[in-house]
Amino acid sequence: MRIGILCQHRSGHSAYEQHLARKNNIKTVQELDLNHKDANEYIRQLPKTCIFSMMPRFGIGKIMEENKDINWHILLRNDFVTQCISFVYTNRSQIFSGEQTQRLLVDVSLVDSFFNDFQIIDEIVKTKRYPVHYYEDLDLSLAFDKKSNNQYEKLVINIDDVMARINAKKTQLSL
């Protein structure tokens, strides 16, 4: 059995993978992200039994459709605003787990990248071909990683600029 999880960064996919791996006695493999130029090649090289996550990219819906032997899941967060702030913060800090205390100036343009990926996933969700799971609704008791209590909005120095960009994007998407 191969399980593929379509998600965005900061979605909780590592904890979801860990939980599923322990529950099903399956190993996880490195995620498919934009460092992998050829998604089809990545999928061809996967073990017959594994769990992996993949980040959105152009054409990913077609790749999912072509790989019907993979048990696909979509993982979203109800609180995608906090997810987006966490994304821009951790992109700057390059620290992805644990308690964060450093206040940082972030790249506001990363909000655009986050919402572009959100739109890719949303188009696939609209097809209703794959189950959609929300991180906040999952029992992840078997996962090693636990949700942090970081308050990223207090750690981002230019949070007003980030929130303005997020609100503009939400308006464009009718969220």
| CATH classification for the domain delimited by 2-173, as one of 3.40.50, 3.30.1380, 2.60.40, 3.30.1240 | 3.40.50
pTM of the complete model: 0.88
DSSP H stretches of helix in 25-77: 39-44, 60-66
Give the torsion sign (CA, 91, 93, 94, 98): negative
CB neighbours (10 Å) of residue 112? 13
Give the pLDDT confidence of 62-105 residue by residue, as tens digits.
999 999 999 999 999 999 899 999 999 999 999 888 889 999 99
The closest alpha carbon to 1, from 54, 53, 71, belongs to 71
Domain boundaries, the chain: 2-173
pLDDT reading at 129 higher than 70: yes
Using alpha carbons only, give the angle 77, 81, 87 rounded to the nearest 5 degrees: 85
Residue 170 DSSP symbol = H
